[in-house]
């Protein structure tokens, strides 16, 4: 899928990984709607991006992914401004084990909400042009992060939802691919402020620090490169792509097909 002339929505795009995703999509010719709850950061970013990439290439839309109305309105405004939507990156997420209900609401329900809205706008069986959705999960969606059980649960949920909806979209001829990205640690505000956001298992932070030592810390452009691969490779649907400092690749899952022997 070439990105020239394509249009994208990125959630949680005012900073961190979402900002890097926005930049790589713009660099490759797409127009991007930057959705975020942080109006100041979002508006400033879009001002700078439009100076760098050309007027009206980026659009800021204030949107909390927890709100059906705000998300719906943002999709509508982006579609009106750009003509259609081809790409959605469900990136908005938080890590705060003390506010675990908020994490479920943003990290998992927000991804489901965004995906279902995108299916309505983009599916070929509803007059749309098809497209691609990338959900930002985490390596914590593949295995347990001891200090963060609820964060781990939300990211496992994102991967399960992504795989199921991808298969359902293909079986329904929607023309929409859905994939998940699973980065290890990335040097953003979410990562650098973690110490203050651990809940009852904060005493295990030594183990988390050892994991950081072992896995290292990615930078946001490295993560954005992987998004580009998931967006442009039209052979990929229902995949989880893991990226770590020393390796990256598609994650194998056990086959549970009824034709397989146990
Ligand atoms: N930083 C890391 O180590 C890793 C992060 N991730 C995931 O990547 C995604 C982005 O994380 P980072 O860039 O690191 O975080 P960040 O904290 O640097 O940026 C998150 C952005 O999302 C926005 N946001 C938060 N709640 C929102 C809501 N309810 N609605 C709309 N926007 C909202 C924030 O205002 C901010 O601009 C998250 O889903 C996170 O779980 C995955 C693996 C590693
Ligand atoms: C402190 C949390 C900061 C950011 C959250 C973010 O989403 C990053 C997560 C990064 C790593 C997740 C690790 C998951 C660990 C597991 O799956 C463990 O069960 C296995 C641990 C290590 C495997 C390394 C290896 O030996 O190859």
Return d(Cα 69, Cα 63) in angstroms, integer.
9
Provide the H-helix boundaries in 54-109: 68-82, 100-103
Q: To test the ligand 1 pocket, which listed residue (17, 64, 198, 217) has its Cβ within 8 A of the most ligand atoms?
A: 17
186 lines ligand 1 (CB under 6 A): yes
Nearest C-alpha to atom 19 of ligand 1 is from which residue? 16
The CATH number that applies at residue 92 is 3.40.50.720
CB-CB contact of 240 with 141 (8 Å): yes
Residue 93 lies in a domain: yes
Residue 236 lies inside a defined structural domain of this protein: yes
Give the ligand at the shortest distance from the Cα of 189.
Answer: 1
Mean pLDDT of 101-117: 98
Residue 259: is its pLDDT beyond 70?
A: no
Is residue 259 a part of any domain in this protein? no
| Strand 131-136 with 7-11, pairing | unpaired
Query: How many residues comprise the chain?
Result: 262
Asked if residue 262 belongs to a domain, the reply is no
The pocket around ligand 2, CB under 6 angstroms, is made up of: 95, 138-140, 142-145, 148, 184-185, 191, 194, 208, 211
**pTM reported for the whole predicted model:** 0.97
Predicted local distance difference test score (pLDDT) of residue 2:
87
Averaged pLDDT of the chain = 97
Please state, for a pLDDT cut of 90, what percent of the chain lies above it: 95
What pLDDT does 261 receive? 61
In a domain, 33, yes or no: yes
How many domains in the chain?
1
Residue 196 has a pLDDT of 86
- Nearest ligand, CA 217: 1
User: Which whole number is the average pLDDT over 127-138?
Assistant: 98
Indicate whether 255 belongs to any domain. Answer: no
Going by C-alpha positions, the residue among 96, 92, 141 that lies closest to residue 114 is 92
* Dist. CA 179 → ligand 2 center (Å): 19
The answer to whether residue 258 is domain-embedded is: no
Residue 258 above 90 pLDDT? no
User: 158 lies in a domain?
Assistant: yes
Q: What is the pLDDT of residue 260?
A: 58
Ligand nearest to the CA of 17: 1
Q: Express as a percent the part of the chain with pLDDT over 70.
A: 98
User: What range does the domain containing 126 cover?
Assistant: 7-244
Rounded to the nearest whole angstrom, what is the distance from the C-alpha of residue 214 to the centroid of ligand 2? 10
Q: What is the mean pLDDT of residues 106-118?
A: 99
Ligand 2 center to residue 208 CA distance, Å? Answer: 8
Kindly report, residue by residue over 71-81, the tens digit of the pLDDT: 999 999 999 99
Q: What per-residue confidence (pLDDT) applies to 262? A: 57
Say what the pLDDT of residue 9 is: 98
Count the alpha carbons within 13 Å of 137 in the hemisphere toward its beta carbon. 31
């Amino acid at each position: 899928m070439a990105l020239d002339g394509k249009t994208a929505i990125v959630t949680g795009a005012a900073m961190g990984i979402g900002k890097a995703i926005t930049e790589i999509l713009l660099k490759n010719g797409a127009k991007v709607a930057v959705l975020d709850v942080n109006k100041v950061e979002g508006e400033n970013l879009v001002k700078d991006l439009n100076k760098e990439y050309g007027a009206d290439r980026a659009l800021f839309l204030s949107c909390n992914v927890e709100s059906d109305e705000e998300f719906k309105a943002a999709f509508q405004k982006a579609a009106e401004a750009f003509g259609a939507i081809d790409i959605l990156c469900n990136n908005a997420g938080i890590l705060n084990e003390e506010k675990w209900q908020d994490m479920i609401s943003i990290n998992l329900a927000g991804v489901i909400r965004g995906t279902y809205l995108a299916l309505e706008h983009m599916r070929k069986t509803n007059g749309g042009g098809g497209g691609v959705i990338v959900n930002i999960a985490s390596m914590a969606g593949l295995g347990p992060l001891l200090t963060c059980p609820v964060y781990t649960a939300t990211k496992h949920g994102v991967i399960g939802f992504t795989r199921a909806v991808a298969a359902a979209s293909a079986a329904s001829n929607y023309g929409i691919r859905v994939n998940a990205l699973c980065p290890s640690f990335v040097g953003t505000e979410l990562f650098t402020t973690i110490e203050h956001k651990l809940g009852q298992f904060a005493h295990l932070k030594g183990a988390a620090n050892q994991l950081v030592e072992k896995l290292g810390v990615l930078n946001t452009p490295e993560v954005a490169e992987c998004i580009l691969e998931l967006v442009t490779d039209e052979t990929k649907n229902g995949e989880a792509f893991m990226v770590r400092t020393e390796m990256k690749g598609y994650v194998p899952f056990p086959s549970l097909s009824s034709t397989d022997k146990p």
